[in-house]
Structure 1
């Protein structure tokens, strides 16, 4: 397998502890990477990181007890100070306002009326530093009541793009604004896991909107009920975008009219065009109500304006350590509760498909699909 799968079951503390034990070496590498970046990019001392980590532990306990329990268990299982694990999960907030090069991503959703199978489709390319690829994996969790989640996750963290057993999924896009600041609001990566812990769309909205925030971000949320919404959030304000002609796409700039200054629109590679590029690639199939997952994969492999397109490749002019590329590509069928994933670069790799229930079976292996250069039906 190109992408490891880690599956854990039990109470949230038990799942966190098992996750920590299974990924301890990866967590140590991730902690080392971000502690270095916190120091070099944000000027944070070890004492600063510990202080902020403990602050965000209190935030986690107030926001969602299941998330707090998983993170505390993860720290214990991995043999890491809990404040380091919490700092990892608040890395967006701790690095905000520095010259740190944030991730760029492209997300999209297709409503079921416009797809060949009548299913809700959700997808994302995650663009980030290549060094994080080897410490990223698929995480499957199933609690004692049978509620399950399948999500991409960096070691030491709990969520990114993923889906749950209620048929609800989320994709992530980094945003920055002049409202962002340090503080004790709910970190962006908590919001992503909070959405995946929701058993219906309305609860997902509350987990994102009805909380104090100190950073900006975008969450594209869709469900098997046939709806999708994009939530652009910043401290004290938010905007919502709905599909047009069955399609909804987002990248790394604000599209809603909000009272803020966008700090990424001018600097994030091709962000102003990537959402429309995806629409252009899918609009004919959508007009025929015939979008298939292989159409979505083809859009995610698009190289327009190489190397900064939807399928992003390292720019040879980037400074050492600041290279960015599509680290992972994820496509989801929310009705089927299936997720397919390709590691960097998705244009040259097949995807590996996992069913949510199959992910918990001993010795489970994924189906290989979407070979490069081919457009097979899934």
Structure 2
């Protein structure tokens, strides 16, 4: 297995303070062939009204990071590429990779019904476990409803009594079937929670242990770990997550990770995710046939097997978007050594949408400085931010009930 690169060229960071919180800006000399990454990080943070933003760019020769603001409200902690972050649905890339590895080992048939492996788990009105395949779950074409609705995420009972993955599956299956398996794309975190249970069944390990053994340790991802139910504290230097806009912020770093389960419970960093994407797309984790399956998008959905496709002016990029309460992140690569991670540690309740600034940063990092972003990438990010805002608003309305007993 080819070992990934870890090369950093850190920009000079200059801090200034204002209001009641230390808001840090930074100046760095970017690669002359690229847009000024520091200016982009500052623009994203300003547009998002965020406490902190980090942009990590791997141009194939070196890794640069640009921190803007602070990781912690009230402190002068400039965001770093190695700061831990709740990376939300970026978790799905890791889950899919593990399952495709198991398929390569003949321990799993992607086109077999989930009922063959987990009989009796996937049931409900109009749901047939003999028709929903593992591939359907990986590609969000199972017809199962999403379990991470705003009311579930804002349910204080799930904070006081951390749910099991099986609990979270039941919350999705209660809605019955939305469509016939394979008929249409409909994003379902329920499906990935089921896939996490499947990994545990096939490996005899907890899902985080399987990810650790198969991905984290081989790639030396030092900041990446899986947060189980009840694991509300990140272990190393990390971004704290917030609701609102400075200075009116409410910390939500300890929102119960058991809610996300295998759909989004991973903790990682910008440096680790760019390393992971570089390794994945260069064939260090999967064979070429498996990687091609992973990249094969469902028609009009731009989504493969745990991998999103971004249509850039210079061609396709692959990765994932992610949001959980207090955290928004984007990780994409072109597969030729260029990759980017963008992290913002504030969930606005619909007051801001920095999609245009994020799209510019993503496009310039992957295509070059003078390349304008495509409308499809801007829309992809905007839609994701709108969904994040709706969830944040639901949590904001109930935050005293959710956090008072934590």
The two structures share one fold, judged by TM-score above 0.5? no
Q: Which structure shows the higher strand fraction?
A: 1
Q: Which has the larger radius of gyration?
A: 2
